[in-house]
């Protein structure tokens, strides 16, 4: 069996790297920033300070004990990770942190296509221009 040759002339797509949030301080900072509730989960997003020269997109996942037992929480987080892999490379902005918070019953039971639509709408709402405060 032969391996098809790749076209090396094509430029690689400029997709920023996606890394996972691990520090509690990063989760707390995202919790204080913008929130966009959806039917399947809650999206928290914040723009990192300009002092952070890192342009990667960072994402974190949370599922509390309200979601259910360990099996249910892990399933919810697996679904959120798959969702992030599908949607974030095309719609997320470099230099931002995103946290997806699972919702009881909804994250595990909701159709994956509906979850994808939820995330796309939530990202559009978070990045929409905000009206000036008086």
Q: Where are the beta strands (DSSP E) in the chain?
A: 18-20, 34-37, 41-47, 57-62, 96-102
Per-residue confidence (pLDDT) for residue 131, from 0 to 100: 80
pLDDT digits (tens, 9 = 90+) for 48-74: 887 766 778 999 999 999 999 999 999
Provide the pairing of β-strand 96-102 with 18-20. Answer: unpaired
pLDDT digits (tens, 9 = 90+) for 93-114: 988 999 999 999 899 999 999 9
In the predicted model, is pLDDT for residue 12 greater than 50?
no
Q: Work out the angle at residue 123's Cα, subtended by the Cα atoms of residues 103 and 30, and round it to the nearest 5 degrees.
A: 65
Domains of the chain with bracketed CATH: 18-125 (3.30.230.10)
Report the phi/psi class of residue 93: left, alpha or beta, with left for phi > 0 and alpha for psi in -120 to 50.
Answer: beta
pLDDT digits (tens, 9 = 90+) for 26-44: 999 999 999 999 999 999 9
Per-residue confidence (pLDDT) for residue 10, from 0 to 100: 47
């Amino acid at each position: 069996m032969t391996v098809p040759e790749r076209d090396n002339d094509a430029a690689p797509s400029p997709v920023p790297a996606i890394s996972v949030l691990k520090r509690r301080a990063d989760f707390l900072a995202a919790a204080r920033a913008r929130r966009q509730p959806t039917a399947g989960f809650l999206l928290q997003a914040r723009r990192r300070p300009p002092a952070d020269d890192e342009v990667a997109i960072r994402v974190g996942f949370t599922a509390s004990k309200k979601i259910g037992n360990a099996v249910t929480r892990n399933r919810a987080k697996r679904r959120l990770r798959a969702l992030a892999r599908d949607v974030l490379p095309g719609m997320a902005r470099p230099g931002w942190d995103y946290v997806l918070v699972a919702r009881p019953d909804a994250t595990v039971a909701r159709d994956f296509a509906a979850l994808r639509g939820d995330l796309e709408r939530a990202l559009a709402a978070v990045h929409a221009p905000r009206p000036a405060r008086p």
